[in-house]
Structure 1
Amino acid sequence: MIYSKTEIEEGQLLLIDKPLNWTSFDVVNKLRYALRKAYGFKKLKVGHAGTLDPLATGLLLIAVGRKTKTINDLMGMDKVYTGTFKIGATTPSYDLETEVDQQWSTDGISEVDIQSAADKFKGLIDQVPPIFSAIKQGGKKAYEMAREGEKPELKSRQVMIHDFKVDAKSFPEVDFEVKCSKGTYIRSLAHDFGAALNNGAHLTALHREAIGPYSIEDALSLDRCLEIFQKEE
Structure 2
Amino acid sequence: MTDEGIVFLIDKPYGWTSFDVVKKVRNALRVKKVGHAGTLDPLATGLLVVCAGKMTKQIDRYQSQEKEYEGTFVIGKTTESFDLEREIKDVSEIGHIQAEDLLAASTKLTGDLLQVPPMHSAIKKDGKRVYLAARKGETVEMDPRPVTVSDFEITGVNLPEVHFRIVCSKGTYIRSLARDFGELLGVGAYLSRLVRTRIGNLRLDDADQLPDLIEKLKEARHENP
Same fold (TM over 0.5): yes
1:114–1:168 contact (8 Å) kept in structure 2 = no
**What is the CA–CA distance in structure 2 between the aligned matches of 1:11 and 1:168, rounded to whole Å?**
41
Query: What fraction of aligned residue pairs are identical, expressed as a percent?
Result: 49
- The code of the aligned residue for 1:109 comes to I
Q: How does 1:210-229 map to 2 (within 5 A)?
A: 210-229=198-217
Q: How does 1:144-159 map to 2 (within 5 A)?
A: 144-159=132-147
Aligned-pair CA distance for 1:104: 0.4
Aligned-pair CA distance for 1:168: 4.3
Residue equivalent to 1:72: 60
Matched, 1:96 2:69: no
Matched, 1:82 2:76: no
Q: TM-score, normalised by structure 1?
A: 0.93
Aligned-pair CA distance for 1:181: 0.1
**What is the CA–CA distance in structure 2 between the aligned matches of 1:102 and 1:55, rounded to whole Å?**
21
- The code of the aligned residue for 1:197 comes to L
1:45–1:65 contact (8 Å) kept in structure 2 = yes
Q: How does 1:48-67 map to 2 (within 5 A)?
A: 48-67=36-55
SS in 1 for 2:157: coil
**What is the CA–CA distance in structure 2 between the aligned matches of 1:169 and 1:140, rounded to whole Å?**
39
Q: How does 1:1-233 map to 2 (within 5 A)?
A: 5=1, 7=2, 9-36=3-30, 43-232=31-220, 233=222
**What is the CA–CA distance in structure 2 between the aligned matches of 1:202 and 1:145, rounded to whole Å?**
21
Residue equivalent to 1:40: none
Aligned-pair CA distance for 1:169: 2.6
User: What CA deviation, in whole Å up to 9, does each residue of 1:118-157 have, x standing for no partner?
Assistant: 0111110110000101111222211100111101101001
Comparing 223-232 with 25-34, greater Cα deviation is found at: 223-232
Q: CA RMSD in A?
A: 0.9
Aligned-pair CA distance for 1:167: 3.4
Runs of at least 4 residues of structure 1 off by over 4 A? Answer: none
**What is the CA–CA distance in structure 1 between the aligned matches of 2:157 and 2:42, rounded to whole Å?**
27
Q: TM-score, normalised by structure 2?
A: 0.96
**What is the CA–CA distance in structure 2 between the aligned matches of 1:134 and 1:30, rounded to whole Å?**
20
* Residue segments in structure 2 that go unaligned for 5+ positions in a row: none
**What is the CA–CA distance in structure 1 between the aligned matches of 2:63 and 2:5, rounded to whole Å?**
17
